[in-house]
Structures are given as structure tokens and as C-alpha cells.
Amino acid sequence: MEIEIVDFIVKVAACVCGKDGIISQAEEKAMLNLIILEYPNYPLERFNQALDEFFDETLQIEDYLHKLARSGLNPFIINICELSASADGLDIKENIALHKVKLILGSEI
Amino acid sequence: MSHFADASPDPKSHIKTLMRIGYTMPSAVSDILDNSITANAKNIEIHSLPGFKEPNISILDDGDGMSPEELIQNMKIGCKDPSDDRERGDLGRFGSGLKTASFSQARKLTVISKKEGEPLCAAVWDIDRIESENAWCLEILDENEVKAHPLLLLGSKKESGTQVIWEKLSCLNKTNHSLDDETIMASNLSELGNYISLHFHKFMDGKNKRNFSINNAQLQSIDPFMTRSPGYQEGRSEKLRCKGGYIEINTHVLPHFKRMETIPLERLGGANGIVQNQGLYIYRENRLINAGGWLGLAKTSQLGALARVEVNVPSSLDQEWATDVKKSSLQLPPRIKKELRKFLADPIKRSKRVYTYRGKQDKANKYWNIQENENDKTISYQISAENDFLIDIFRVIPKEQKSQLIKYLGQLAENLPLNHIYEKMSESPRDIDQESVTDALLEAIMSRVFEEEINE
Ligand SMILES: Nc1ncnc2c1ncn2[C@@H]1O[C@H](COP(=O)(O)OP(=O)(O)OP(=O)(O)O)[C@@H](O)[C@H]1O
Ligand SMILES: [Mg+2]
């Protein structure tokens, strides 16, 4: 696994869940569980660091997805976005962001 | 061609604006305490030294202190960029607090400081001089002058520390003219002590512990959640990840009034204070900013009196939360409002439960009916007709007396002193004692009847 790729996946999911500056515990937990399931060696510190970086960066969802282009992981990315964002109910903004991920990645599946 | 003219503010009028930022005395002192805490002070002492012609206030700490150069830089208003990232635990933001808080309370600010390995240094802002010179002229004292300063408390033994001195106090003349300065000062200081004990309570216990004192009397923390009282209930909690850390939300339900210990209850403003101060307790880097009130998220109600929602926010979110210079107000971002709403229902519901559990006897009782009419949203308290005792009486008394008694009982219910009961129940519920009322009634009636008999 390329560890940077996982960082970007975390950040894409964070974009969807943290659309308005906050990621809830339930969302964070769902995100982490899915990541660990897929990448058991991804360290927790790295996960935390990726989330901290996400809040400090000004990059948009498109920018992160761009870095994941042709990674062949599109179904996983969509899945993690969907499951983590809906961990505590999907609100309108999250839904729009999720839609955007699906649109951008969907055309690449 | 356009050109530029120097239009910087006139010091004389600018200073007047800065004096009116709207601090209260306690919130101004808190801004000075913030600085001491950020400078890692372990002991923070507030003194009002007696025996001087003019009253004065000193805030003395044993923190890191400042070098002479740092002191001069930090005496400037706006000495730091508000948008700079600050370290976790730094309570500053605007580079102004020390000056604006001081100017709101005093016309003369002296800061004496000592950093490890550096000489003792001091600088003075005197508003009278700023006004007469119409210039920002900061007075720097030389070492001998500092050592001879009549209000100097910062010992030369101490490795490091800072003393902030307020003179020419404007906070004293606002209140009652007939009282002398010392009396006003004493009452201000006692109010200040309560404010600090509540707003800095997280710095008074546990791993963050520091000592605070006023005129050598140590301050004790006031825990607004009464977490150590029997009957306290801890509720749901959540950590929300955000820029620069976490927002932490904890919910609390206070014990029922009857189980509250007297001293903590008094310190939280009595039963009235408990009711009024229900709501959100928002902390910025552990310092309390908002002590109660639901900020529009819920209604203050008698039954919700025991509900408290604690919110801890890192200073990295100052911009989103619109923290002001005084650190005494902030605005909830919409997203947080939404999140918080989820947390309100539970403690409020539990508060109601605790509240009404103790009042259960009031509800179903053989003597009173509580009639709640859902349709016209009215409630009335009526004397119960189902009472065996009453029915027995009705069986034995003649018809005439029956209607008299009914009339009397009707009047009794109509004249229930509801407002008075409500007031007392919210102010001092524990003072109400209904246990000996029957004896009192009997005695009163007996003595009246006895009197009448004698008169006859
Ligand atoms: N008691 C103190 N001990 C050591 N340094 C201090 C003390 N008080 C103030 N300072 C220094 O002076 C600076 C200016 O303080 P001031 O309160 O004016 O602004 P601030 O704390 O940076 O921001 P804010 O306006 O939000 O309070 C501080 O940043 C700190 O470096
Ligand atoms: Mg400050």
C-alpha cells in the first residue's frame, strides 16, 4: 500500500463528513474502522495526522480526488464516504459533497 | 494624482475609545489572569495595598516574565497579529488585552516584570500624560526607580514573574458616592473572588492547578456542575474533531435542591441562581466564557433548572466563534448549534425527572387535584372531592353548613398564594416548612374560640 494514498482517502472522507468544520465521533469511528479493515497496517497516528492536516489545508474535494485518480479504489472511496458521513445521519451539505464524489469518481469506475 | 495623508488616530481621542470597550471589573482582571496563566504562572495573587492615599490593585504572578525589550513591545496596543496561530493553552489572541482591560479600569497602568537571567524592568502607561501630550509616550523606569516603586511586590528573590499595577482607578467611582473607597473596594473584591472562582475553576483543581488569592486569602474553585455532590448525574458526551483539536461536549444534571450542600448552593447563587444559570457552559482553553443561558437553543424553565451542557472549545476556533477582545462573549457557529441541539434534550429531560421525582407527592395527592386542560392550556388546583375525610364530614353536618363549607373550600383554593409560593420555591425552596401547619392552625383556632367564649 502506498501510505500517502490512504492519507488522501481519509481526507476525501473528511471533506464529506467535515463539510462545515466538524467531524463527529461517530463519523470518525466509522471512517477509521473502514480504513483499518482495508489497510490493517495504517497507523492510528497517521490517521490523526491526516485529519489534522485536513483542517489546516485549504484544498477542496476535487484536489484530493485528483491525487487519487486512477488509483483503482473508486468503489472503496465512495463506500467510505457514504458510510462515514451517514454514521450519524446525512445532512444536506454532506449529501451534496457525497454526490460530488460520486459524480467525479462515478465517471471513472 | 492621488496622494496619501497621515490620518492615524489622535492619541487623545483614541485612548478614550479604548477605555470604553465595556469590560466589567471582573472581566478586566480575568484578561490579566489569562496572561499570567499563559506565562505558566503557578501562583497568582491579587492585592489591594492599604495605606495609600489613592486605592490601587496589583496582579502578581510567578510566571515566565518578560525581558525589558519584550516588555516594551508588549505594552503596545495590538502587539500581536490576531490571525497568528497560537500554541494550545495560550489564552491570548489580539495582543491588546493587557492594555484595553487595564484602561477600562484605571488611568495608570504599570507593568513590572522579570525574566530569568534578565534585569527587573518596568513600563508605565499614564492616560493623563497621553492626553496632555497627545502622544503614545510610554514611560520606562530605570532599575533604581523600579526597586523604589512604592507598590512593588515582585521580589528580587523570585527568578521570574510579572506585576500589573492599576492606579487612578476609574472602576471605583462608578458606584455609590456615599460609600468610601475602601468599602467599595472590599465589595468589588469579594465579587471578583466569586467570578474568578467560577470562571477559572478548571485552573484551580487537578493537573492544571494554580493558586489564586485575593489579599492573601486563597480562592476556592466553584464547580458549576457540582460533580462531587451526591445525586449529581453525568450525561452523554461527545468529542467533535475540528481545526486545531477537539470541541468537547459533556452534559450534566445537578442534584435536586434538597440534596445540594449548603455552601456549594450558596456559591452558585442559591436556588435562584441555579434556575437562572441553567444552560450552556462554554469554555475556551479551560477558561469559562459563557456561564449559563441556552443562547436561544432552548427555553429557560423551572424544570430545566438542573440541566447543564459543558462545551470546551480550542482557541484555534476563535474566528469561527467570533471571540471578542474581552473573551466574554462569543457566537455559536450554525453547525455547532445543530450539534448542540442533540445534546440539550437529554439533560433537560433528566432535570425534569429529578425535579418532579422529589415533587411527586405534589402530583397525586388526596387533598388536591391538579386539573390540566390540554385544550385551553390552563391548569387549576382544586380541592379534591374524593377525600374520605371530607366526605365523612359532609355526611354528618347539616345542609346549611355543607354549603358554607363548600364555599369556604372553594375560596381556599381560589386564594392559594401561587405567586408567593412560586417565588419562594425558586428562591429558597428549602426554607419552606409545611410540616407543623396543622398544629399552628389548631392553636390559632383554639385561641380564637377561647377568646370569643371569654368575651361572651
Ligand atoms: N503576566 C505576563 N507574563 C508574561 N508575559 C506577559 C504577561 N502579560 C502579558 N504578557 C506578554 O504580553 C503580550 C501582550 O499581552 P496582551 O494581553 O496585551 O495580548 P495577548 O495576551 O497576546 O492577546 P489578547 O489581547 O487576546 O489578550 C502577551 O502576548 C505576552 O507575551
Ligand atoms: Mg492577554
Tens of pLDDT, residues B26-77: 999 999 999 999 999 999 999 999 888 889 999 999 999 999 999 999 999 8
Task: Count Cβ atoms below 10 Å from residue A76 Cβ, excluding itself.
Answer: 16
With respect to residue B228, please indicate whether it lies within any of the assigned structural domains.
no
Tell me, yes or no, whether B418 and B281 share the same domain: no
Q: Is the pLDDT of residue B360 over 50?
A: no
In chain A, pLDDT over 90 holds for what percent of residues? Answer: 45
Which of these three, B193, B218, B243, is where a domain ends? B218
CB contact under 8 A, B242 and A55: yes
- Give the tens place of pLDDT for each residue, B373-422: 666 667 788 888 888 889 899 899 998 898 899 999 999 999 988 888 88
Domain total of chain B: 3
B240/A20 CB distance under 8 A: no
B251 pLDDT above the threshold of 80: yes
Which one of B195, B218, B241 terminates a domain? B218
Angstrom distance (rounded) from CA B190 to CA B197: 11
Asked if residue B413 is part of any domain, the answer here is yes
Asked whether residue B4 is assigned to any structural domain, the reply reads no
**Judging by beta carbons within 10 Å of its beta carbon (0-12, 13-18, 19+), is residue B156 exposed, middle or buried?**
exposed
Whether B437 and B444 have beta carbons less than 8 Å apart is answered as no
Whole-Å CA distances, B246 to A16, A24, B88, B127, B259? 18, 10, 11, 42, 34
**What are the grid coordinates assigned to A81, written together?**
464516504
CATH of the domain at B98: 3.30.565.10
Q: How many angstroms separate the CA atoms of A96 and A76, rounded?
A: 19
**Residue B1 belongs to a domain:** no
Please give the mean pLDDT across all residues of chain B.
Answer: 88
Expressed in angstroms and rounded, the spacing between residue B267 Cα and the centre of ligand 2 is 27
**Residues B392, B322: one domain?**
no
Q: Which residue is associated with the grid cell 516574565?
A: B65
Q: Which has the closest alpha carbon to B414: B381, B449, B390, B391? A: B381
CB contact under 8 A, B333 and A56: no
Extract the C-alpha cell encoding B52.
495609600
pLDDT beyond 50 at B361: no
Looking at the structure, do residues B272 and B169 belong to the same domain, yes or no? no
DSSP-assigned states of every residue in A68-109: TTTSS-HHHHHHHHHHHHGGG---HHHHHHHHHHHHHHHTT-
| CB distance B43 to B158 below 8 Å | no
Same domain, B239 and B314: yes
| Separation in Å, CA A33 to CA A12, A44, A101, B204 | 15, 11, 20, 39
Nearest-CA distance B163 → chain A (Å):
37
Query: Are B214 and B88 in the same domain?
Result: yes
Please write the tens of the pLDDT for every residue from B173-221: 655 566 788 888 999 999 999 999 999 999 999 887 999 999 999 999 9
Looking at residue B90, its amino acid is: D
Q: What is the pLDDT of residues A11-37, one digit of tens each?
A: 999 999 987 788 988 999 999 999 999
Nearby residues of B82 by Cβ (< 8 Å), 6 or more positions away: B93, B94, B95
Burial of B72 (0-12, 13-18, 19+ CB in 10 A): middle
Separation between Cα atoms, residue B291 and residue B272, nearest integer Å: 14
Instruction: Identify whether B19 is part of a domain.
Output: yes
Q: Do B335 and A21 touch (CB under 8 A)?
A: yes
Confirm whether B347 is domain-assigned.
Answer: yes
To the nearest whole Å, the CA of B247 is away from the closest chain A CA by 9
Does residue B323 have its Cβ closer than 6 Å to ligand 1? Answer: no
Taking the CA of B63 as reference, the closest ligand is 1
Same domain, B86 and B45: yes
**Residues near A25 by beta carbon (within 8 Å), at least 6 away in sequence:** B238, B239, B240
Using a CB-CB distance cutoff of 8 angstroms, which residues of chain A are in contact with residue B240? 22-25
Instruction: Give the tens place of pLDDT for each residue, B110-159.
Output: 999 999 999 999 999 999 999 999 999 999 999 999 999 999 999 866 78
User: B123 CB under 6 A from ligand 1?
Assistant: no
Query: How many Cβ atoms from other residues are within 10 Å of residue B400's Cβ?
Result: 8
Same domain, B59 and B160: yes
* Crossing angle (nearest 10°) for helices A74-85 and A92-106: 170
Residues B88 and B191 in one domain: yes
Neighboring chain B residues of A18 at a CB cutoff of 8 Å: 241
- Domain end position, chosen among B361, B391, B414: B361
Is residue B437 domain-shared with residue B343, that is, in the same domain?
no
Q: Is B138 exposed, middle or buried (0-12, 13-18, 19+ CB in 10 A)?
A: middle
Name which residue leads in pLDDT, B432 or B149: B149
Q: Is the CB of B161 under 6 A from ligand 1?
A: no
pLDDT of residue B375: 64
Q: Looking at residue B255, what DSSP letter applies?
A: P
Residue B224 lies in a domain: no
Supply the range of the domain harboring residue B26: 11-218
B172 within 8 A of B191, measured Cβ to Cβ: no
Per residue in A30-68, pLDDT (tens digit) is 999 999 999 999 999 999 999 989 988 888 888 998 888
Distance in angstroms (rounded) separating the CA atoms of residues A17 and B442: 70
- B299-354 tens-digit pLDDT: 888 888 999 999 999 998 888 888 788 877 788 888 788 888 888 888 888 888 88
**Structure confidence at residue B281 (pLDDT):** 96
- Ligand 1 binding pocket mutation candidate from B38, B84, B330 (most atoms within 8 A of CB): B38
Q: Is B226 part of a structural domain of the chain?
A: no
Does B242 contact A28 at a Cβ distance shorter than 8 Å? Answer: no
Q: What is the pLDDT of residue B67?
A: 96
- Percent of chain B exceeding pLDDT 70 equals 95
Residue of chain A nearest B240, judged by CA positions = A24
List the grid coordinates of A104. 467525479
B111 touches B98 (CB < 8 A): yes
A105 to chain B nearest CA, in Å? 26
* ipTM > 0.90 for the complex: no
CA distance B69 to A84: 52
Q: Which residues of chain A approach chain B closer than 8 Å at the C-beta? A: 18, 20-25, 28, 51, 55-56, 91
- Domain spans of chain A, in order of start: 3-105
CATH of the domain at B271: 3.30.230
